[in-house]
Amino acid sequence: MRVRIEDVAKAAGVSMKTVSRVLNNEPTVRDATRERVQAAAKALNYRPDPSARRLAGRRSYLVALLYDNPSASYVMEALEGVVETCQAHHYGMMVQPLDYTDPELIAGIESLVAISKIDGLILTPPLTDMTALLDRLDELNIPHSCISPNNRRGGIGVTLQEHDAAQDMVSHLVELGHTRIAHIKGHSAHGASDWRLAGYRSGLRRAGLRYDPALVIDGEFSFDSGRAAAEALLALPERPTAIFAANDDMATGVMGVLHERGLSIPGDISVCGFDDTPISRQVFPALTTIHQPVREMAHEATLQLIKAIKDPASGTLVQLPYALQARQSTGPAPGT
């Protein structure tokens, strides 16, 4: 026999409306009452009826994570953060991979929202920086939350000080005696690529080092583009002593090439990345990187979206901290 909301209310000694408020994580409930309702729901193994919730609230209680990102590690961490938050707030979720170059992208997203009755969208880069898409979502009053938007124009979501993080990574390399530091940029459509390149240049400037365009190679945030960039940097008349890739996937591509060439990491060349995805701790030597809390960022972006769905005046842009993870792939510059 299915446990009903009335059963939870009776067991907790409260009204059905109070149970509903607790299940929807509304703030207007006393802590003691919330705990009593949650304990009763757990004891009875109560599960909200999605159909009843939709009819009562005129919402689908469904959100969608949209992405176009070549880094599987990034997508998986973001997915975990969204899933955990949706489960905690009794929301369903769907995941939709997209091609940001598709001329029918915006129309496709409109169709997805209409057909699936989605309450709101979580956008990841580079979708977060598509002005036409954001304007259209605003025009249609479709709630959306952005992860790491480049243009922080008053929307909701979550950001990281990527410029400062990249600058700190360059400072770390300078402290180790490196003066010839290369940078592998991320995908040109991602705002993060611009922030990290700007931070790299600021780090050089702060150390009194000249910016050399020959040491900056375009990448795609993929393992293969990291390999290609490493080959280009090693072909220079004077190779760098340190390579800072804009994400961990590209950094591991660099490491693969260096291993194949018989070059020591970090004895001959130091390598570092950005994101602190699981691969950074699985390669040898362990990769120095910037910890970007992707899972927590996805959690926060989803939480802000749910707030905005419940109350359009709610939701904000939250900034989370980063941390430099110094590991074995960076060391003193040769000859120092």
Q: Is the pLDDT of residue 272 over 60?
A: yes
Residue 250 is predicted with a pLDDT of: 96
Q: Identify the CATH number of the domain defined by range 62-160+294-322.
A: 3.40.50.2300
pLDDT in tens, 303-335: 999 999 988 888 899 999 999 999 999 999 998
| CATH superfamily, domain at 162-292 | Response regulator (3.40.50.2300)
Residue 56 is predicted with a pLDDT of: 45
Please state, for a pLDDT cut of 90, what percent of the chain lies above it: 61
Q: Is the pLDDT of residue 153 over 70?
A: no
Among 42-46, 239-243, 306-310, the range scoring the smallest mean pLDDT is: 42-46
Joined together, the tokens standing for residue 175 give 């402290």
In the chain, domain spans: 5-56, 62-160+294-322, 162-292
Same topology, domains 62-160+294-322 and 162-292? Answer is yes
Give the Å distances, CA to CA, from 171 to 91, 203, 208, 267: 43, 6, 11, 19
Q: Is the pLDDT of residue 28 over 90?
A: no
DSSP-assigned states of every residue in 27-65: S-S-HHHHHHHHHHHHHTT----HHHHHHHHS---EEEE
Joined together, the tokens standing for residue 10 give 């009776």
* Domain 5-56 in CATH 3.10.20.600: no
Helix pair 105-116, 131-139: axis angle to 10 deg: 30
pTM of the model: 0.77
Confidence of residue 240 (pLDDT cuts 50, 70, 90): very high
Coil, helix or strand for 289?
strand
